[in-house]
Amino acid sequence: MHRFQRFAYYCVVVLSIQALAGCALKPFVMDKAADTLATQGQSDEDDIVLAREASAFYLKLSESVLKESPGNLKLAESVAAGFTQYAYAFVAFDAEKLESQDAKAAQRIRERAARLYLRANQHAMGALEKSMPGFKQALIRNDPQLLTRLKQDQVGLAYWAAASWGGFISLSKDDPDKVADLPLAANLAALAWKKDPDFNRGGLTSLMGTFEASRPGGSMALAEKYFDQAIAQSKGESAGPWVAKAESIALKKQDQKVFTQWLNQAIQIAQSHRNLENEVMRERATWLLEMADDLF
């Protein structure tokens, strides 16, 4: 069955749940719907407009099913990933592009992006807490046993919890209490990375680079090492680490030549390996190049 046909089928299943209220079949049907939604993604879709238009309904549907199947870790991971990616690609980026034209409107959009990041984080952290009671307190205590307690099927949740947390903090720079959580978010990413450093084909390693470059006193050399490792892990097929490297390293060093080189490399990769993630990164890299004179 084609991916979209499967998706439509499970939309019908979910919408028919009302007729099953109180029925013993309801948990079974919901779990099946949850399993299918957890495996449905848009990574093979390279039309960014089509993906954007489809994302809102998909996220709301997945979130509704998750409420009925809160123990489904894969669906919780998918929902957290979806809200994080939607906030980054379609909301926070819109605010950046609008900033020079209408600062007040851009701020309103940033606030929405922050809420979406927080929503993603709550789904991921909630699932981690449910599957591992006391998880957040153990993270706060920096419990050394947490690494052994974290299971392989929880790595994705930890990754998206850390990524959404970082995104939320980046949009809350005027709130010291929220910024103070940056070390916790970075520690969560490190926890997942130690468990599975190859997770998401370098995506987790690239996140480690971003956290290292953004933390007070962070090492630019170590951050660049993470980005280079992420590039190797992606086998040169992901534009993301190049864009992150350009923004985290070259921009901070105010090296426009290297900034331009790395972004052009990202665009070249995105054009050679078409998928939604690379298309998002190609669009961002192109915009950053257009803004280069204002950034340097």
- State the average pLDDT over residues 257-270: 98
pLDDT score of 37 more than 80: no
| pLDDT classification of 45: cutoffs 50, 70, 90 | low
**DSSP code for 132:** S
Cβ atoms of 196 and 233 within 8 Å: the answer is no
CA separation for the pair 39, 32 (Å, rounded): 11
Higher-pLDDT residue of 174, 156: 156
| pLDDT, tens digit, 9 for 90 and up, residues 203-242 | 999 999 999 999 999 999 999 999 999 999 999 999 999 9
Helix pair angle (155-170, 182-195), 10° resolution? 150
Residues 6+ apart with CB under 8 A from 172: 114, 178, 179
The per-residue pLDDT for 58 is: 85
**What separation in angstroms does the CA of 171 have from each of 155, 166, 190, 226?**
25, 9, 21, 23
Question: What DSSP state is assigned to residue 197?
Answer: T
Give 195-212 pLDDT, tens digit per residue. Answer: 999 999 999 999 999 999
Place of tokens 């020079």: 100
Please state the rounded mean pLDDT for residues 44-62: 81
Over the stretch 146-161, which tens digit does the pLDDT of each residue have? 999 999 999 999 999 9
Percent of the chain with pLDDT over 90: 76
pLDDT at position 158, please?
Answer: 98
Averaged over 253-278, what is the pLDDT? 97
Cβ atoms of 193 and 208 closer than 8 Å: yes
Residue with structure tokens 């309904």? 57
* pTM (predicted TM-score): 0.86
Q: Binning pLDDT at 50, 70 and 90, where does residue 47 land? A: confident
Long-range pairs, 165-169, Cβ under 8 A, ≥24: 165/117, 165/121, 166/207, 166/210, 166/211, 166/214, 167/84, 167/87, 167/88, 167/92, 167/113, 167/114, 167/117, 168/114, 168/117, 168/118, 168/121
pLDDT of residue 28: 42
Q: What is the mean pLDDT of the chain?
A: 88
* pLDDT of the residue at 35: 53
Residue 10 has pLDDT above 70, yes or no: no
Q: Give the residue among 208, 273, 200 at the shortest CA–CA distance from 233.
A: 200
